[in-house]
Structure 1
Amino acid sequence: TGESLPVLKQSGDRLYAGSINGMGELQYRTQGTYDESLLARIAISVQQAQQSKAPVQRFVDRFSQVYTPIVTFGALVLALLGPWLFGGTWLDWVYKALVLLVIACPCALVISTPVAVVSALATAAKAGLLVKGGLHLERARRLDYLAVDKTGTITAGMPVLQDQWVAPAYPLETVEQMAYALASRSDHPASQALARSLEGAVSALPVKDFQAVAGAGVMATQNGVSWQLGRLSWLSHAPLSADLISWQKTWQQAGASFVYLAKAQQVVAAFAIADQIKSGVQAVMADLARLGVKVEVLSGDNSAAVQHVANQAGIPLAQGDLLPEDKLRIITERTQTEGFSAMVGDGINDAPALAKADLSFAMGALGSDMAIETADIAIMNDDLANIPYTIRLSQRLHRVLVQNISAAIGIKLVFLALAIAGVATMWMAVFADVGASLLVVLNSLRLLKSTPSA
């Protein structure tokens, strides 16, 4: 449900279907069928949210459906009734009708949209964006509100060592060497994060009698002395020093998890492990603010960790301890109160909110299959900078579409006026048709070189 680190489960706790057991034996009792599980409810929420989206008809398609029959009928009437009403030969009026028909041909108008959209989609793909249809790219310029997940979206999704406390009587190098020796042999995610952080900086001390205790930690001996790495409640029951308590409280407020090192059941060091935000996130949030987009963090992780990450990223609004249905409810409310709303996430628990949002982004590299399948746009390189890029590309696409449609209609109107005045020739008609088509195609191809800047 979005936690950045494993969650300890004790007797009587609720266990969600689809949870991964880290280590140790797990005994549980089912309280319902699969259809009542959290995973099934997520899938149902996705289907319901997708069905609630209204179909959007394209202006050009509607226009051409009405425009083409009217023009064809008008040319036919002109050819048949012209000689009777205005005099002249049948051949002259058939020629004028053909000129009118060629001039009024909506080719340029019809291709003005798809060529521009395809060009913009190709540009988006080069930037690492998989956009599932031009409609989503066209609408991105209207974005008013963006909800972002925390773990794997704002943060790297890989916990690292943030800080450490070492008892004054113990050399830092010895403590780190022993911690690395034990952590590198453990399969617990927090210990693995500690090992990754210390790798290369220190060398492991040789140990003997290594043993892993499920749900508690690991232990070994070095020169006949017992060393332990793991949970505080397993290591020692002795009172902690005031210095350690103060240090621990500071990092608890930041949402960190702790790994403790003990020698002969006496705590000698503590390590704060937490996820870290991706590089450049602060710049992305500042860019979105300049674009007028309101950003809020919605996460299933604990509130302290969520608020700490939001503060680091420069996001004033943040909510934690959210279940998938909570995210769905919030997104539903935001679409009604904040305007055009979007969601970006990477997990199964984000899928219902992704489906409900007016526009949705999924992390393509770290994201779950359900999130990628549900989202309108997949960010294949997991770079959040692609969100403001998408908005600017959408703005550029909109300008090109307006230019294309205006040029196509404007050229048609000019030559239609000449045709009505009786001075338009077939060559003029061909230029009005083919020339306008080439003009909108060349204008659309400019999007292939488009690099929307901040």
Structure 2
Amino acid sequence: MCDQHSTIHCCQEDESQEHHHEHQHSDNNNWQEYFPVMISGILLLLGIILDNLKLSFFTSEIRFIGYFITYLPVGFPVLKNAFKSIQNGDIFNEFFLMGLATIGAFGIGEYPEGVAVMLFYTIGELFQGAAVKRAKGSIKALLDVRPDKVSVKRDEKIMVVNPAKVEIGEIIQVKAGEKVALDGIQMTDFSTYNTAALTGESMPETKQKGEMILAGMINLETLVEIQVNTAFKDTKLSKILEMVQNATARKSQTQLFISKFAKIYTPIVFALAVLITFLPYFFVENYLFQDWLYRALVFLVISCPCALVVSIPLGYFGGIGAASQHGILFKGANFLDVLTQVNAVVMDKTGTLTKGNFKVQQVIIVANDAGNILEKVALLESKSSHPVAKAIVEYVNPHLIENLISEFKEISGHGLVGKIAEDEVMVGNLQLLKKYEITFPDTLATIEESHVVIAVNRKYAGFIILADEIKADAQQAITDLQKLNIKTVMLSGDKKAVVAKVAKTLNINEAFAELLPENKVEHLQKLKDQHFTVAFVGDGINDAPVIALSDVGIAMGGMGSDASIETADVVIQNDQPSKIVTAIRIAKATKSIVWQNIALAFGVKVLVLILGAGGLANMWEAVFADVGVALLAIMNAVRIQRMKF
């Protein structure tokens, strides 16, 4: 089992190991898939009618030839796959079992039952393929949201090109009704967008000039111009698609166990079938080889592990698909499993529980050249993607001449340091001033609002007060988590007074303030030492270490940094805290359905296996135990797509 927080490409396995059937359901037309079944079905019905009429021309030789021709359309593909599997060293699989059972049925003259078993098996395969396609449908639908053409302004002309050929800084045009192909900044005054492909939310969102527009959004109003600021391969949408495409490769513990179990279970069943055929010779007085061979063949048909091999991954596909419909992206089925065990949710404050839309409330500059200092502060902050930095830049609106900045560095959990012209400028929290041993007024420690402090040339120069707002659904998210008996904890680098106010408003169980990234790691480790299964929810670069340490890392994908999104196991696209609860509910529903399927498959198979070995079940019961149970499990698995969370 790979580490939960390694890159999304680890643990990729050959999908054929998980489900041998999928290659039969690629891009064939429906008539090509169903034609063999229709031919065999009609001929089988005709053969049974002729058998009952007992016509003289329907001799044993003609009867064999007729049923053999009936068998070929559905039997040949299975026998071919069995032969290929044997060549690859994979002997004991469903192809081998079905092939052996039906050939054996022909060998003892049970032609109609041999054809019927293969016919119903193939019908079951078609239903399974359709169910797998449906379960993956909501995931694959995401692949259609990325446009393959974009209109770009070049030399005062509009050219239609592939999005991958658009350079950062170029201006693209998006007409009303068109999808945005690249991330960028809106240059038009305003427009409204459908963001459902990214967030799962159907409510249109209005964007103003200067706001970020993401690939995958649909422009609903007027012609807009967007200045591209991200390469095509690095857009948020491209990263989402990469996550989703690789999600099913990371298997849950249940899937891995069933895959291993099937490889052990099938040879054992085959060995038991051999014993059922020959062992009674030594103990039964009136031993008839044909009778015991028939029982063994029934036993083989029943033992086929299709219901387990197909319905379990199908359940997880359904869970991942249902989550994507709600704007929640799981990077693997294994994280669905882990999320069901979570009993503590630890959250960052800014951007997770609060909007992160800071507004400058007050500026206090104690130095003489206040305007010049504020301009330099904003210039330095323009190098950061933090919401506070964006608020200061928006407030000051400096003349951005970035080549003036040198020796720039971002000190995680402290702030920014850089040289602008001849001045060394520092912007951050009190920890930053303490780190550089810069003296500051004691009154700074008493400010309850969120604020940043400023130092120029190692001397205290002032501070800026900003205000943030709690997200509308944060209260409901905390309440719902606590109803699920999940402990809620908030870890923040903000001031104690600010953190305490938010914690009290939201009724969070525990809250800790003025934390550096390493302090957050320490607090999370304490919870794990207390045997909590912990999910951490964050959005910033400084949250990446805690996300990596948690049992399930959850990133806010809308405002979140690339580092936190890359490190996370689950990404919430619309930044709503309430989606944490939705993700947990989807995970619990998925696990419940998977275990229902396991119980159904094992229960029915064990019962009919015993009846088959005792001669109390024939091929028709065997078909139900195999194909029927598989279909019931599939219908149960696809229910998750229609559930409300």
Which whole-Å CA distance do the structure 2 matches of 1:357 and 1:380 have between them?
A: 20
Which residue does the alignment assign to 1:356?
549
Which residue does the alignment assign to 2:306?
107
Which whole-Å CA distance do the structure 1 matches of 2:311 and 2:537 have between them?
A: 31
**What is the CA deviation profile of residues 276-310 of structure 1, one whole-angstrom value per residue up to 9, with x for unaligned ones?**
22221111111111111111111223333322332
The change in CA–CA distance for 1:448 and 1:96 in structure 2 (over 3 A counts) is same
User: What displacement does 1:163 show?
Assistant: 8.8
Matched-pair contact (CA < 8 Å) for 2:450–2:465: no
Which of 273, 280, 285 does residue 82 from structure 1 map onto? Answer: 280
Alignment of structure 1 residues 34-113 onto 2, 5 Å: 58-86=256-284, 87-113=286-312
1:430 aligns with 2:628: no
Question: TM-score, normalising length from structure 2?
Answer: 0.46
Matched-pair contact (CA < 8 Å) for 2:601–2:633: yes
Which whole-Å CA distance do the structure 2 matches of 1:115 and 1:320 have between them?
A: 43
SS in 1 for 2:559: coil
Which whole-Å CA distance do the structure 1 matches of 2:389 and 2:424 have between them?
A: 12
User: What displacement does 1:256 show?
Assistant: 4.6
Coordinate RMSD, CA, aligned = 3.5
Which residue does the alignment assign to 1:123?
322
SS in 1 for 2:606: helix
Structure 2 residue identity aligned to 1:371: S
The structure with higher relative contact order (CA 8 Å, sep 6+) is 1
SS in 2 for 1:142: coil
Which residue does the alignment assign to 1:149?
348
User: What displacement does 1:332 show?
Assistant: 1.6
Which whole-Å CA distance do the structure 1 matches of 2:390 and 2:335 have between them?
A: 40
**What is the CA deviation profile of residues 337-391 of structure 1, one whole-angstrom value per residue up to 9, with x for unaligned ones?**
1521111111221112111111110111221222111111111221111111111
1:383 aligns with 2:584: no
Structure 2 residue identity aligned to 1:296: V
SS in 2 for 1:296: strand
The change in CA–CA distance for 1:293 and 1:410 in structure 2 (over 3 A counts) is same
SS in 2 for 1:100: helix
Matched-pair contact (CA < 8 Å) for 1:277–1:313: no
The change in CA–CA distance for 1:75 and 1:191 in structure 2 (over 3 A counts) is closer
Q: Which sections of structure 2, spanning at least 5 residues, go unmatched?
A: 1-251, 364-370, 382-387, 396-421, 426-442, 455-462
User: What displacement does 1:147 show?
Assistant: 0.9
Structure 2 residue identity aligned to 1:91: Q
Which whole-Å CA distance do the structure 2 matches of 1:64 and 1:290 have between them?
A: 39
SS in 2 for 1:361: strand
Which whole-Å CA distance do the structure 2 matches of 1:215 and 1:156 have between them?
A: 31
Which residue does the alignment assign to 1:318?
511
Which whole-Å CA distance do the structure 2 matches of 1:194 and 1:440 have between them?
A: 56
1:374 aligns with 2:567: yes
The change in CA–CA distance for 1:214 and 1:315 in structure 2 (over 3 A counts) is farther
Which residue does the alignment assign to 1:415?
608
Which whole-Å CA distance do the structure 1 matches of 2:389 and 2:626 have between them?
A: 69
The change in CA–CA distance for 1:60 and 1:195 in structure 2 (over 3 A counts) is closer
**What is the CA deviation profile of residues 229-280 of structure 1, one whole-angstrom value per residue up to 9, with x for unaligned ones?**
xxxxxxxxxxxxxxxxx9x998x22335699xxxxxxxxxx99522222221
Equivalent pairs counted in the alignment come to 330
SS in 2 for 1:152: coil
Which of 342, 347, 353 does residue 540 from structure 2 map onto? Answer: 347
Matched-pair contact (CA < 8 Å) for 1:83–1:93: no
Which whole-Å CA distance do the structure 1 matches of 2:600 and 2:362 have between them?
A: 62
Percentage identity across aligned positions?
A: 37
Structure 1 residue identity aligned to 2:535: A
Which whole-Å CA distance do the structure 1 matches of 2:530 and 2:540 have between them?
A: 25
Alignment of structure 1 residues 152-163 onto 2, 5 Å: 152-160=351-359
Structure 1 residue identity aligned to 2:315: A
Which whole-Å CA distance do the structure 1 matches of 2:328 and 2:445 have between them?
A: 41
SS in 1 for 2:553: strand
Alignment of structure 1 residues 289-304 onto 2, 5 Å: 289-304=482-497
Structure 1 residue identity aligned to 2:574: N
The change in CA–CA distance for 1:125 and 1:325 in structure 2 (over 3 A counts) is same
SS in 2 for 1:276: coil
User: What displacement does 1:126 show?
Assistant: 0.7
Which whole-Å CA distance do the structure 1 matches of 2:466 and 2:496 have between them?
A: 16
Question: TM-score, normalising length from structure 1?
Answer: 0.65
User: What displacement does 1:418 show?
Assistant: 1.8
Which whole-Å CA distance do the structure 2 matches of 1:367 and 1:153 have between them?
A: 9
